[in-house]
Amino acid sequence: MDVLVMVLCATVVIGFLVFIHEGGHYLAARAFGVRVTEFMLGLPGPSVGFTRGGTRFGVTAVPLGGYAKVCGMEPGEMSPHLQPVLAELYRRGTADVQAIATACDITDDEAFEALEELTEWGSAVGPDKRDADDTYRAPASYPPPRRLRRHATVADDVPLPCYDLGEARPVPDTEALFQSEYRQQYRAQPFWKRSVILLAGIAVNLLFAMVAFVVIFSVIGVDLQLESGEVVHRTMNPLQSIQAGFMYIGMVAQAVAGLFNPATAAQTVSDSTSIVGIAVMSKTYFEAGLVTALEFTAMISVSLGIMNLLPIPPLDGGRFVVEIFQKLTRRPVSVRAMSYLSMAGVALFVGFFVIMLNQDIQRFIFGNW
């Protein structure tokens, strides 16, 4: 029973923090007119949910982590055949790779690469298990955001046709169609907008923590034990609470930075905890009451935000460093280079996870730490 309670408490804490983190990415992207095709709690895989405004919201079969699928974040150069392939797919509604390749006078490989990129854009829907061939479909259409309607000189009161998934539709202007889809991509945005989208999740985690600290220290108050043994209830003014919050964020940032110092890396890892430790501690804090549970959630939120600032792909901080590199060099990072960086980052974090998991098992299960 205790194990179930620990799992439930950890799921609530991690699920909530991942939700607001990915919500930050989602809201920033939509504010700039960037398409987001999925907003999921859990690892990619089978899911249940609903679709609204072109975004599928739901929960996957493995409710660990989460993601917001912001379109147009794929690395490397764009395929040179996107425009004709997009137009041909929309005219047909449903088509396989060979049909698109023949109609656009390109090779099957070129057609496949273009269709896959358009799928990443949310401008095409890839084949599912029921398809006998490599079948792609034009997505269901929704009225574009107001800013895109104005950019395309379409009045707000003019009704626009909507189409079902895989339904053929007229394409009077292939360039206009391509530009309307391209403008809704992450890669089409200026550097500052891409940076905001990348860092919005971290900002929301830290903002939640600051609000939680103000509520705890300035609204609810805390009990303090004096040297005499007397327990008194004290509150801070909001400014003091904010200062305390910034001090805690600074402490976490300094601790995380210790990972890059050979003299302190081992101690930093030793002082860290895995999902097992979070589960054990979350149960303890939740049993102590709502205030302590809120304080614990705020502390984990700070840790999640600061860890995501690490300049290691595929973390947000790593992607931000890549954006800075591309801005300074004026050339995109290749798909191969991005893949190598991501694999190295994942391997590093898997190593950290294994070490911290072993620590938590020894500490909380065997009592040997």
**What's the pLDDT tens digit per position in 315-363?**
899 999 999 999 999 888 888 888 888 888 888 878 877 877 777 777 7
Summarised one tens digit per residue, pLDDT across range 87-132 is 999 999 999 999 999 999 999 999 999 999 999 999 999 988 777 6
Per-residue pLDDT for 184 more than 50? yes
Helix (H) or strand (E) holding 215, with range, is: none
Residue 153 confidence class, pLDDT cut points 50, 70, 90: very low
Rounded Cα–Cα distance for residues 227 and 358 (Å):
39
Mean pLDDT of 73-85: 93
Q: What is the pLDDT of residue 9?
A: 83
pLDDT of residue 367: 62
Mean pLDDT estimate for the chain: 86
Q: Please give the helix or strand (H or E) that residue 233 lies within, else none.
A: strand 231-234
DSSP class of 139: P
Confidence band, pLDDT 50/70/90 cuts, at residue 192: very high
pLDDT of residue 235: 86
Q: What's this model's pTM, rounded to 2 decimal places?
A: 0.87
Comparing CA positions, the residue from 249, 336, 263 lying closest to residue 299 is: 249
Please name the residues in contact with 246: beta carbons below 8 A apart, sequence gap of 6 or more. Answer: 210
At CA 6, angle to CA 9 and CA 310, rounded to 5?
65
112: tokens are 């496949």
Element (H, E) at 223: strand 222-225
Nearest to 70 by CA among 113, 112, 40: 40
Instruction: Return the pLDDT at 150.
Output: 47
Residue 201 contacts residue 13 (beta carbons within 8 Å): no
Dihedral of the CA atoms 35, 38, 40, 44 (nearest 10)? -130
Q: What is the pLDDT of residues 50-71, one digit of tens each?
A: 988 889 999 998 777 789 999 9
Beta bridge partners of 232: 224
DSSP 31-85: HTT--EEEEEESSSSSEEEEEETTEEEEEESS-SSEEEEETT---SPPPTTHHHH
Is the link from the previous residue into 238 a cis peptide, with omega within 30 of 0?
Answer: no
Q: 280-295 pLDDT, tens per residue?
A: 788 888 888 888 899 9
8's CB contacts (< 8 A; 6+ apart) are none
**pLDDT (0 to 100) of residue 171:** 93
| Residue 346 φ then ψ, to 5° | -65, -45
Residue 211 pLDDT > 70: yes
Q: What is the pLDDT of residue 1?
A: 60
